[in-house]
Structure 1
């Protein structure tokens, strides 16, 4: 049996990841009909169906999922090997387009970007800060930065340091008026500032103490989709906010906010740079990822 070509395997990963011949064709710069023909040829050579096709969708079969799971890291490792010789061509240059929420963008500006500017001055980092979770591939971005829990499973993630703690915060005026909650259940009697996730649902507040874990659907008096605005709403006395520690740090330092329920707040979540594992990683992006890894290890 002739072995499949690298082009066919790369095409399969693109189709299986996009769940669309058109999306994969846009990425690879070819026609959907060409990819469809290539996938039929690949299935014939392997003697197994890899994709279930309907008039509206494409999805991997069980065999397709298994092959995809092996190919993604293998192709990523191949890209690493090829990009490893980039330094022998001279200075790394180019543009890296990134998408990140404002809090994550601030982490980059404070840590990764200064190191990047010093080490690779010929690389331009084009950073778009927005809260909405988007498809970075269709949006034309090389990579994104998100909380680990919101990164799609088909992406490769590079952690940006230690996980970040969540805090419950409120203004002194609000706490004087409404009282200080002693347990997460007390939140049911408070005004809370809800967090609308990119997918549309409200974030559920997570607590833990002495091995006891609780998840609360906090009663939202105000719902926002931006952590900076959530902190501002808490400062204005609109209620209790559940936010990442770096977002609340300036207001806490200025004593505009106070922490509540601290013994229950052990939950933390990591932030990571993520990028498609099935695409060739350009030297500029590879350089950025290497710097991000180094900075992350120091945090």
Structure 2
């Protein structure tokens, strides 16, 4: 069957012209208001009448009036058209200034350290923007799930995303509690981990993550073993503090425990550097004002390194 590729005339064609004529009771004044010729207005009204199947105006040489059908059409068309104009203004406002709902997908542990101060200052600066935070340890399709942006560790951000750093790079560190080391010697080399209970972390894919190290400039990964598996860094941190075993964590996340003496740092010379935490969003989609405002706000905060993470609580990876 042959397809028709022409655009069908819609029910709204000619309505604005009709409303202008009905308001002014004049084709000439309506033409002046719309910036067209009186003949164009007359032709548009004739097409509208033909499509509706009824005369809408009574025309004389001196005046223009509405028929019964025209009065009835006006009573329904004007409020509907006003609603359409109002809807257009709302949409135009969303496209021109920061307003509406900004949805962010973030790991749970990033909220109190990064997002609470950042969101508080952003909401104060942009009161017309509502911010929704959805915590998830999984990497999701931002566009498909209706999110404007996400926050993750840099190594887990896809290459086709635009990524903005929220923190400087930092180390992955191996830590254990003093109680754990009370009965065990500290590992001096990565090979020594075979004799230690290592707390492991399961990715959202279901795989157990390897531990990463830097051995004299060479990146290596080691499969460790131990009595405990978790799917987020926060749980692993708590298990390490309780003396269940060694954990490999982002350095800022372990910083408070190290300062308080609840954790001990080992294998320092082998600690790898990871990129840090990033805000990311799809580069191919049109930038909305609310997202642009948030990105600019993030950049202004990130420029002041004293306000960027220097305390524990970096996000769980995925």
Which bin holds the TM-score, normalised by the shorter protein? 0.5 to 0.7
- For structure 1, the residue ranges without an aligned partner over 5 or more in a row are 1-84
Kindly provide the CA deviation profile for residues 159-191 of structure 1, in whole angstroms up to 9, marking residues without a partner as x: 113113211111111111222111111111111
CA distance in 2, matches of 1:211, 1:155: 28
CA distance in 2, matches of 1:166, 1:139: 31
CA distance in 2, matches of 1:258, 1:113: 33
CA distance in 1, matches of 2:143, 2:121: 26
1:298 is the counterpart of 2:301: no
Name the structure 2 match of 1:180.
186
Aligned length: 214
CA distance in 2, matches of 1:225, 1:164: 21
CA distance in 2, matches of 1:183, 1:119: 50
CA distance in 2, matches of 1:219, 1:269: 26
Instruction: Give the ranges of 4+ consecutive aligned residues of structure 1 lying more than 6 Å apart after TM superposition.
Output: 85-88
- For structure 2, the residue ranges without an aligned partner over 5 or more in a row are 1-91, 306-318
CA distance in 1, matches of 2:105, 2:94: 26
Task: Select which of 112, 121, 129 maps to 1:123.
Answer: 129
Secondary structure of the structure 2 residue equivalent to 1:298: coil
Secondary structure of the structure 2 residue equivalent to 1:145: strand
Structure 1's 197 and 247: CA in aligned 2 closer, same or farther, altered over 3 A?
A: same
Secondary structure of the structure 1 residue equivalent to 2:228: strand
Structure 1-normalised TM-score? 0.65
CA distance in 1, matches of 2:261, 2:129: 40
Name the structure 1 match of 2:270.
264
Name the structure 1 match of 2:203.
197
CA distance in 1, matches of 2:94, 2:304: 24
CA distance in 1, matches of 2:165, 2:117: 13
1:88 CA drift (Å): 11
Question: Is residue 189–residue 267 contact of structure 2 (8 Å, CA) maintained in 1?
Answer: yes
Secondary structure of the structure 2 residue equivalent to 1:252: helix
1:130 CA drift (Å): 2.2
Larger radius of gyration: 2
Question: Is residue 199–residue 236 contact of structure 2 (8 Å, CA) maintained in 1?
Answer: yes
Structure 2-normalised TM-score? 0.62
Matches within 5 A, 1:82-93: 92-93=98-99
1:298 CA drift (Å): 2.4
Name the structure 2 match of 1:149.
155
Superposed CA RMSD in Å reads 2.3
